[in-house]
A and B are shown apart, each in its own frame.
Chain A
Amino acid sequence: MQFTCFHLMPYRPLDMEERAKHRSAWVVLPNTLYDPERGAEQYESYLNQLTSAESLGFDVIGVNEHHQTAYGMMPAPNLIASALIQRTKNIRIAILGRALPLTNNPIFIAEELAMLDTLSRGRIIAGFVRGIGTEYHATGINPAHSHERFQEAHDLIVAAWTRPGPFEFEGEHYNFRYVNLWPRPYQRPRPPIWIPSQGSSETVRWAAAPERKYPFLVTFSAFDLVKRYLTTYADQARQYGYEPSGGQLGWAVPIYVADTDEQAKKEAGSAIESLFNNFLPNPWEMLLPPGYMSLSSMKATMKARRSLGSRPRTQTADDLISSGTALIGSPKTVVEKIKRMQDETGFDNLVSMLQFGTLSDELTNRNMQMFASEVMPHLR
């Protein structure tokens, strides 16, 4: 199994009482609630945590992109990746991912990732995403064009990495007379591409296609849902006529280990609740702007939502643990759950989030060490 140490870099000092006065921790949360000094402390802690992943034996460090939110302080994940390149030697660095539709010039993304790949001598993994729905409020990009822009930007970036330049790119949203990267990526033909996703069937079909075989990471979902999405991907691959590798099947999940299940829950309970109840929730107008999903998927989603009631549900640590949305417990418990997913899906690509919500540095460091020494060896 391949292990990624993934981080969102949340703004932990957030005043949750003030947060509760706003509809979301994204886009509309006044940045007067952000303190630059505390922000600098967060970056320092988080960079130290990610750097330590190398000596702890992780295979990959993962960073990600979100905009205008206390949920994650990485609007420009490439900057963090660049800092990590300087602090590490061999570990791979995954940018999970860049939100392609949000930029008007995807060549910039191709260029920056080629630079990072070169600076790191080929240690970069490129994640491509569309961003979550709030990103379209934050950037003004029309969500109606989200899918089209993603496809086109992807095609442009891959071509820029692999086709001899200069060449011309002619698209609907992007048109360039000259595409000619200097530098080109260090890896040949290009850095690996991973696709983090919430599991839309369109994305699964596209990522699994034989000409791509992009590893597919299911993020922040209940155990059964993760299993269903990974199975869908594997089935899709078989329909395409090939057997997917375990590395193509990824699960991104918050994990916390301590000596006993009780202790783990006691130490991480409030932090995991802050992630799901304070940092993450969005009203559907922000999370699913029209066009972010196809009209038919959206109709089905809204129908399901109407039957559940529209009020967002507060999730307790117990809910999150029992649904398998977060893995919190003794090393034995956590190993068993991961093994169960492995048995049931064949997945081999674990993206662990070992700091989440308000989890302190001390607990995070202990969690990382224990995960590395008492979970990873049983799964290697």
Chain B
Amino acid sequence: MSPSVIYHEVRDAKVRMMRAGAGEPLVFLHGAGGLSPWGPFLEDLSKNFDVIAPEHPGFGDSGDGAFIRNVADMAMYYLDFLDSLHAGAVHLVGTSLGGWIAAEIAVRNCSRIASVSLLAPAGLRIKGVPIGDNFIWGPEEGTRNLFFNQAYADKLLAVEPTEEEADRQLTNRFMATRLGWEPRWFSPSLQKWLHRIQVPSLVLWGEEDRLFPVEYAKVWGESIPAAQVQIVPNAGHLMQIECAQDVAKRLLSFLAGR
């Protein structure tokens, strides 16, 4: 099923949003690379849920994100966004940067959140466990380092992006820089508030993640009271792409069992 694409307006910001499926609402928050085309992962989720995938302000075709200076701003924006859906409590799913945003939303206010699922989220820093430097990686190593199964990287690298796509990638990279350059991909004040996430939570981590090492999974699990942690084997950072079925299955089973 191909999703409908709409432009959803919250206050002054208009964001592009893909939506498909029926059931309880599930909001998917994308990572620093931007909102990927609708793929098997969201497709699987949409069989049981009303999947809503907004493109963050400042990314891709969503409007100017000048008013978003940091991830805390982004979290406040999404609290407005959740209000504007008039959909009751949503299942929040975020990957990488999107996972960080999801956590920042949830520590502020869980009243519109039914559950939180974090896929290799940014947002924390463990001293002595360095993360990869995605801002210094060249285009090829940057792509390769996001996957365990290099066939996915090969496939992506074989395609020369169109001019339009290259512009989108650059737009996304600019916004990601604003949000994640310094301090690098974390907020010093997030971890001490994670106890406020009082809804069922799932932390998924690719065992072979070369951007955010799998050691981070444990700390997230210890910091969110009701979190279960699952390590996904043979998966890198973009596990929802290279292990789409496995990750969707784990997520659906968590959501069914909560």
- Whether A associates with B in a native complex is yes
Query: Are B170 and A295 in contact, with the CB atoms below 8 A?
Result: yes
Query: Are A306 and B166 in contact, with the CB atoms below 8 A?
Result: yes
Cβ contacts under 8 Å, B137 to chain A: 285
**A283-B163 contact given A140-B182, A290-B174, CB 8 Å threshold:** no
Query: Are B184 and A140 in contact, with the CB atoms below 8 A?
Result: yes
Which residue of the partner chain, among A23, A137, A302, contacts B135 with CB atoms under 8 Å? A137
Which residue of the partner chain, among A137, A290, A299, A306, contacts B136 with CB atoms under 8 Å? A137
Is A291 among interface residues, defined by CB-CB distance under 8 A? yes
**CB-based nearest A residue for B70:** A142
Query: Are A144 and B178 in contact, with the CB atoms below 8 A?
Result: yes
Query: Are A303 and B181 in contact, with the CB atoms below 8 A?
Result: no
**CB-based nearest B residue for A295:** B174
Query: Are A291 and B178 in contact, with the CB atoms below 8 A?
Result: yes
Cβ contacts under 8 Å, B135 to chain A: 137, 285, 289-290
Contact residues of B between 159 and 214, Cβ < 8 Å to A: 163, 166-167, 170-171, 173-174, 176-178, 181-184
Query: Are B177 and A290 in contact, with the CB atoms below 8 A?
Result: yes
Is A80 among interface residues, defined by CB-CB distance under 8 A? no
Cβ contacts under 8 Å, B163 to chain A: 303
**A290-B166 contact given A142-B182, A285-B135, A285-B138, CB 8 Å threshold:** no
Question: How many Å lie between the Cα of A152 and that of B177 in the bound state?
Answer: 20
Cβ contacts under 8 Å, B177 to chain A: 142-144, 289-291
Chain B, interface SS category:
helix
In angstroms, how far is the closest chain A Cβ from the Cβ of B97?
14
Cβ contacts under 8 Å, A23 to chain B: 136, 138
Query: Are A143 and B170 in contact, with the CB atoms below 8 A?
Result: no
Most buried by B among A142, A295, A299, A302: A142
**CB-based nearest B residue for A303:** B163
Question: How many Å lie between the Cα of A283 and that of B138 in the bound state?
Answer: 8
Question: How many Å lie between the Cα of A302 and that of B164 in the bound state?
Answer: 12
Is A20 among interface residues, defined by CB-CB distance under 8 A? no
What sequence of 0s and 1s flags, for each residue 127-159 of chain A, a beta carbon within 8 Å of any chain B beta carbon?
000000000110011111000000000000000
Cβ contacts under 8 Å, A137 to chain B: 135-136
Is A28 among interface residues, defined by CB-CB distance under 8 A? yes
Question: How many Å lie between the Cα of A204 and that of B25 in the bound state?
Answer: 51
Cβ contacts under 8 Å, B183 to chain A: 140
**CB-based nearest A residue for B179:** A144
Question: How many Å lie between the Cα of A298 and that of B171 in the bound state?
Answer: 10
In angstroms, how far is the closest chain A Cβ from the Cβ of B149?
24
| Interface size band for A | 20 to 34
Is A234 among interface residues, defined by CB-CB distance under 8 A? no
Cβ contacts under 8 Å, A143 to chain B: 177, 181
Cβ contacts under 8 Å, B167 to chain A: 299
Contact residues of B between 125 and 146, Cβ < 8 Å to A: 135-139
Is A286 among interface residues, defined by CB-CB distance under 8 A? yes
| Interface size band for B | 10 to 19
**CB-based nearest B residue for A139:** B182
In angstroms, how far is the closest chain B Cβ from the Cβ of A359?
30
Query: Are A302 and B182 in contact, with the CB atoms below 8 A?
Result: no
**CB-based nearest A residue for B172:** A290
Contact residues of B between 10 and 36, Cβ < 8 Å to A: none
In angstroms, how far is the closest chain A Cβ from the Cβ of B162?
11
Cβ contacts under 8 Å, A290 to chain B: 135, 170, 173-174, 176-178
**CB-based nearest A residue for B161:** A306
What sequence of 0s and 1s flags, for each residue 101-138 of chain B, a beta carbon within 8 Å of any chain A beta carbon?
00000000000000000000000000000000001111
In angstroms, how far is the closest chain A Cβ from the Cβ of B179?
9
In angstroms, how far is the closest chain A Cβ from the Cβ of B155?
20
Question: How many Å lie between the Cα of A144 and that of B176 in the bound state?
Answer: 10
Query: Are A286 and B136 in contact, with the CB atoms below 8 A?
Result: yes
Query: Are B174 and A291 in contact, with the CB atoms below 8 A?
Result: yes
**CB-based nearest A residue for B183:** A140
In angstroms, how far is the closest chain A Cβ from the Cβ of B93?
26
**CB-based nearest B residue for A141:** B182
**CB-based nearest B residue for A172:** B69
Query: Are B138 and A144 in contact, with the CB atoms below 8 A?
Result: no
Most buried by A among B170, B173, B174, B183: B174
Cβ contacts under 8 Å, A28 to chain B: 136
Contact residues of A between 211 and 238, Cβ < 8 Å to B: none
Question: How many Å lie between the Cα of A286 and that of B138 in the bound state?
Answer: 9
Query: Are A285 and B181 in contact, with the CB atoms below 8 A?
Result: no
Query: Are B181 and A144 in contact, with the CB atoms below 8 A?
Result: yes
Question: How many Å lie between the Cα of A289 and that of B170 in the bound state?
Answer: 11
Cβ contacts under 8 Å, A141 to chain B: 182
In angstroms, how far is the closest chain A Cβ from the Cβ of B66?
11
Contact residues of B between 76 and 110, Cβ < 8 Å to A: none
In angstroms, how far is the closest chain A Cβ from the Cβ of B59?
12
In angstroms, how far is the closest chain B Cβ from the Cβ of A287?
11
Query: Are A142 and B138 in contact, with the CB atoms below 8 A?
Result: no
Cβ contacts under 8 Å, B173 to chain A: 290
Query: Are A142 and B136 in contact, with the CB atoms below 8 A?
Result: no
In angstroms, how far is the closest chain B Cβ from the Cβ of A44?
34
Sorted nearest first, the 8 A-B pairs with minimum C-beta distance are A290-B177, A144-B178, A142-B181, A290-B174, A142-B182, A290-B173, A140-B182, A144-B177
Query: Which chain B residues have a beta carbon within 8 Å of chain A's beta carbons?
Result: 135-139, 163, 166-167, 170-171, 173-174, 176-178, 181-184
15 further contact pairs, Cβ within 8 A, besides A23-B136, A298-B170, A298-B174? A23-B138, A28-B136, A140-B181, A140-B183, A142-B178, A142-B182, A144-B177, A144-B181, A285-B135, A286-B136, A290-B176, A291-B178, A295-B174, A299-B167, A303-B163
Q: Name 24 A/B residue pairs within 8 A (Cβ), A-sorted.
A: A28-B136, A136-B181, A140-B183, A142-B177, A142-B178, A142-B181, A144-B174, A144-B178, A144-B181, A285-B135, A285-B138, A289-B177, A290-B176, A291-B174, A291-B177, A291-B178, A295-B174, A298-B170, A298-B174, A299-B170, A302-B166, A302-B170, A303-B163, A310-B139
